[in-house]
Amino acid sequence: MILEAQALSAGYGGPPVLKSINLQFREREITAIIGPSGCGKSTFIRCLNRMHEITPGAELHARILLDGRDVMKMDPVLLRRQVGMVFQRPNPFPTMSIFDNVASGLKLNGLGDRRRLAEAVEKSLRSAALWDEVKDKLREPGLSLSGGQQQRLCIARALAVEPRVLLLDEPCSALDPIATARIEELLLEIKKELTLVIVTHNMQQAARVSDRTAFLLMGELIEYDETQKIFTKPSDRRTEDYITGRFG
Amino acid sequence: MPEVPHLAGPRQRTGDLVFRRALLSVALFVVAVVLLLAWSLADGSRLTWKSLGPAFLWSKEWDPVQENFGALPFIYGTLVSSALALLVAVPLGVGCAIFLTELAPRRVADACTFLVELLAAVPSVILGLMGIFLLVPTVRSVEPALARWLGWSPLFRGEPYGVGMLTAGLILTLMVLPYITVITREVLLAVPQPLKEAMLALGATRWETVVGVSLPFARAGILGGIFLALGRALGETMAVTMVIGNTPKISASLLAPGYSMAAVIANELAEAASDEHLSALISVGLVLFGVTIAVNGIARLLIYRVRKA
Amino acid sequence: MNSYQRRRWTQAAMFAVCALCAAAALAGLFTILGYIAWHGLSSINWGFLTRLPKPVGETGGGIANAIVGSAKIVGLAALMGAPIGVLGGLYLAEFGSNRTGFIIRYAADVLNGMPSIVMGIFAYTLLVVPLKRFSALSGSVALALIMIPVVLRNTEEFVRLVPHSIREAALALGVPQWKVVLRVVLPTAAPGILTGALLATSRIAGETAPLIFTAFGNHFWDNGLLNPMASLPHTIYTYAISPYKDWHAQAWAAALLLMLFVLAVNVSARLLFRPAGGAR
């Protein structure tokens, strides 16, 4: 168990969006979080790296443990170096080149050695399956890439700081099917090194990619089990209704 | 404008705290300047208020040699020249803005908007130069005709000096025209398309839509723009002092030379003969300060209400 | 003519009037530019740009000291005013949604609308009176105070335009907030901020009123920042109101120079940086 959320409740100042969720994530596994719109899945993973607090009025009551250490007592900046995040829409830094984008996490945290930076950038771009496409144009602006490439760039950027866990908030929802497939492929590769938590509204994606799946409904955790089991023989009626499309 | 996200956590890192405090102290400098400015104007004019009191504001005599100080000629000159400028600039500016939003094809409108904004960038002293060498002789040649045809009214009597209230008003028109045009254009562009379409769907012509829907909707914003332009005109110095005649006299006629608050300060401060003279000039500055804040405050209220909508 | 025709005729007439209004405005601009070019070009030559003014009444002087003086006064003012404006605007954009921010914003707006001559009085009482002399420094201070609120509000606007997603991406990498602001947000907003600072500089370069009784003007080379210094707009003014034809011609030439500078900055600012979504 590398990451664990206990009794996690969160909101934005009004009624709670998440109600006392208990979820554990195993090392080097991909856990998918599925559920209908508004069920709180994005809010949930933003709590895991304490990005939720940034929203004005945000409230969070939880015990979140990373390797057994209470995350709420940590410096959020240090936490985020260990728990990285990839967002729904690709967001490379507009003023930076491809190289600088990938290196940004390292550079901004003080690494100046050019050789080590270059090595780290190449390694991350290879892990993100982007190296071959951009190795000759590392100095070009990050925004000059296609949407799918930009998202892989953001994944490389997140990987460069060598986090233990990578959170992905619907990373393919803004991409076409081919780009989506490439990212799903590379997630399966990345999980050999890291733990991944992916929020998705695409059930087929969850079935394809994840080892375990958690189903959230209206802020509550309904079911959490091996992906195979969730999609073939779910225990809860509500899970079954969602998976078979009776509501969405 | 969207709220910028920042750490709301219970414990702020020291780096962030220092950063925020440092920026705050720089930003507070601006507040300090305003307070200091108000204080220094009040302090510098204390002599005048003590010896003359509020009567300073409505005394007509300004004679530094005799130590007679009255601000009325300047207040009068500033108000009249600004009012004249608005009288001409508002219809011109609104008409120009309607042209830019309704009539001109997109690229022409963009180019023309840029050119009108360029007009606002022309330094005041250059407009004054134009005033002296182009506008004044022109007005001087037109004035006899004005005096003959409109001389029945007290507004158009007097010798054709060329310099005077009329010329000052005209040059101020050139200065405030771009402000009125640009702001009116902005608020007209913000009129919701569905509203206009509803009017057109009833069979109205485009002009009738402008008058019936766009202008009423934009009314507050246009008024705000007018007050903003007024604030600009009230404080305008160089162009005015070069064409107004610099005579501290009040006259009903627009053809007569006059004076403005900003102009007398520009002309006499450097060589203020005595403490009383200096204090009187700073008092005029204080009046200008107060009037500007009031007018701009009204403008901001009007425009703020529009921006909220 | 029936009612419908009458309405269409009204529209045509009113739209024609509006077009005339626009033509009048543009005519005004082109008259100014044309006049300056016409009168100024004939007097500009190398000597004019490099010589000092001749004594009153003599022909053939130059405005070299005014050009250098303007460069110094405006340069110093920008050096003082731009950083304060940028940092203040940065504060308002990042932390300014509270009561303090409201007060600061209000103060900046007050200063923004203040006539430049009032700022000149301020610099006069602040620096000229205590030092008992006119000085270029007091002129620079007056100009800097005019520049600060302009740069401040412009900076705030452009920093606010930086998308949330960029900030979040940087924060998610484990970067402290102050670094996110300085090393990611600020560079992203930099083009807009710089353009605003340039435009503000061009604006103060044309200001005359505050300089009349602070920098005061000088017929010779200046003697340092603590002494009177000539400047381009002040020279234009002095020459324009003088009775000498030669000085009038020089005033036009100097005006041409100033106008070229203002035009160059304004045109390049608009062309090099097209503001996104109507921001000015």
Query: Which residues 6+ apart lie within 8 Å of A136 measured at CB?
Result: none
Long-range contacts of range C271-275, CB-CB < 8 Å, 24 or more positions apart?
A: C272/C195, C273/C191, C273/C192, C273/C195, C275/C192
Structure confidence at residue C21 (pLDDT):
93
Question: Cα(B70)–Cα(B72) distance, rounded to whole angstroms?
Answer: 6
Chain B positions touching A55 (Cβ under 8 A) are 5, 8
Higher pLDDT, B107 or B148: B107
Q: List the alpha helices (DSSP H) in C161-215.
A: 164-172, 177-179, 186-205, 209-212
Q: Which of B39, B41, B125, B199 to mutate to probe the C interface, most C CBs <10 Å?
A: B125
Q: Parallel, antiparallel, or unpaired: how do β-strands A195-199 and A30-34 relate? A: parallel
Mean pLDDT along residues B54-79: 89
pLDDT bracket for residue C223 (50, 70, 90): confident
Q: Are C164 and B100 a contacting pair at CB < 8 A?
A: no
C224–chain A Cβ distance below 8 A for any pair:
no
Q: Does C92 touch chain B (CB under 8 A)?
A: yes
| ipTM score for this prediction | 0.89
Q: Do A54 and C171 touch (CB under 8 A)?
A: yes
Distance of CA B216 to the CA centre of its chain: 23
Contact C253, C43 (CB under 8 A): yes
A203-216 pLDDT, tens digit each: 889 999 999 999 99
Two structure tokens written together for A220: 């509550």
Helix/strand/coil for A85: strand
**Least reliable range by pLDDT among C64-68, C107-111, C219-223:** C219-223
Contact in structure between C233 and B125 (CB atoms under 8 Å): yes
Burial (0-12, 13-18, 19+ Cβ within 10 Å), C133:
middle
Nearest to B244 by CA among B266, B220, B223: B266
Which of C17, C116, C120 is nearest residue B95 as measured by Cβ atoms?
A: C17
Nearest chain B residue to A78 by CA: give it. B13
Say if the Cβ atoms of C173 and A95 lie within 8 Å. Answer: no
Amino acid (one-letter) located at B308: K
Residues B9, A56: C-beta atoms closer than 8 Å: no
Strand, coil or helix: what is B75?
helix
Percent of chain C residues past pLDDT 90, beyond the cut: 71
Comparing CA positions, the residue from A107, A125, A108 lying closest to residue A116 is A107
Q: Which of A:56-75 have CB within 8 Å of B?
A: 56, 58, 75
pLDDT, average across residues A185-208: 92
Least confident of A199-203, B152-156, B303-307: B303-307
* C positions 13-32 inside 8 Å of B (CB): 14-15, 17-22, 24-26, 28-29, 31-32
Total length of chain C:
280
Q: Which two tokens stand for residue B231?
A: 């604030």
The number of C-alpha atoms within 13 Å of C203 and in the hemisphere containing its C-beta is 26
Q: What does the block give as tokens for C265?
A: 């900055």
pLDDT at site C276: 42
Determine the distance from the C-alpha atom of residue B209 to the mean position of all C-alpha atoms in its chain, rounded to a whole number.
30
Run of H or E residues at C153: helix C136-160
> How many Å lie between the alpha carbon of A204 and the closest alpha carbon of chain B?
34
Chain B / chain C CB contacts < 8 angstroms: 281
Q: At a CB cut-off of 8 Å and minimum separation 6, what does B62 contact?
A: B68, B69, B70, B71, B73, B74, B248, B259, B264
Q: Per residue in C202-233, is it b (16+ CB within 10 Å) or e — as a string?
A: bbbbbbbbbbbbbbbbbbeebeebeebbbbbb
Interatomic CA distance for residues B52 and A200, integer angstroms: 78
Answer whether C146 touches B (CB < 8 Å): no
Query: Is A50's Cβ below 8 Å from some Cβ in B?
Result: yes
The pLDDT of B196-204, averaged and rounded, is: 90
Q: Closest Cα partner for B281 from B272, B293, B290? A: B272
Provide the percentage of residues in chain B whose pLDDT is more than 90.
57
Q: Is the pLDDT of residue B11 over 60?
A: no
pLDDT at C6 over 50: yes
CA distance A60 to A11: 7
Closest CA to A152 of A118, A113, A187: A187
d(CA B245, CA B132): 11
Q: Residue C94, Cβ neighbours under 10 Å: how many?
A: 24
Instruction: With CB atoms and an 8 Å threshold, state whether A95 touches C174.
Output: no
Beta bridge partners of A214: A33, A224
Is the pLDDT score of C53 beyond 90? no
CB pair distance less than 8 Å for C172 and A108: no
Q: Give the Cα separation of B42 and B75 in Å (integer).
A: 18
At A110 the pLDDT is 83
- Is C259 within 8 Å of B126 when comparing Cβ atoms? yes
The two structure tokens encoding residue A63 = 């015990």
Per-residue model confidence (pLDDT) at position C51: 81
CA A22 to chain centroid? 18
Question: What values do phi and psi take at A25, rounded to 5?
Answer: -120, 130
pTM, two decimal places: 0.88
pLDDT band at A244 (very low <50, low <70, confident <90, very high): confident
Give B11: exposed, middle or buried? Use CB within 10 Å, 0-12, 13-18, 19+. Answer: exposed
Tens-place pLDDT, residues C179-204: 999 999 999 999 999 999 999 999 99
Tell which of B1, B4, B7, B16 to mutate to test the A interface (max A CBs under 10 Å). B7
Residue C51, min C-alpha distance to chain B (Å): 22
Mean pLDDT of the residues in chain C? 90
At residue B143, the pLDDT reads 84
Q: What is the mean pLDDT of residues B106-116?
A: 91
Instruction: Report chain B residues whose CB lies below 8 A from the CB of A81.
Output: none
CB distance from A48 to chain C under 8 Å? no
Is residue B224 within 8 A of residue B303, CB to CB? The reply is: yes
C168 interfacial to chain A (CB closer than 8 Å): yes
- C64 Cβ under 8 Å from any chain A Cβ: no
Sheet strand arrangement including A18-25: A18-25, A3-11, A59-66, A69-70
For residue C278, pLDDT over 50 is answered with no
Average pLDDT, rounded, for chain A: 91
Predicted confidence (pLDDT) at residue C61 exceeds the cutoff of 90: no
Going by pLDDT thresholds of 50, 70 and 90, the confidence category of residue B5 is very low
Segment B211-228, tens digit of pLDDT: 999 999 999 889 999 999
pLDDT value of position C280:
37
Query: Tens of pLDDT along A115-147?
Result: 999 999 999 999 999 999 999 999 999 999 999
Query: Best mutation site among A45, A95, A109 for testing chain C: the one with the most C CBs within 10 Å?
Result: A95
**Residue given tokens 């600020």 in the structure block:** C186
Q: Do C183 and A85 touch (CB under 8 A)?
A: no
Predicted local distance difference test score (pLDDT) of residue C274? 58
pLDDT at C1: 61
> Residue B238: which of C91, C237, C259 has the nearest Cβ?
C237
pLDDT for position B274? 87
Find the helix or strand (DSSP H, E) in which B149 lies: helix B136-150
* Mean pLDDT across C21-30: 93
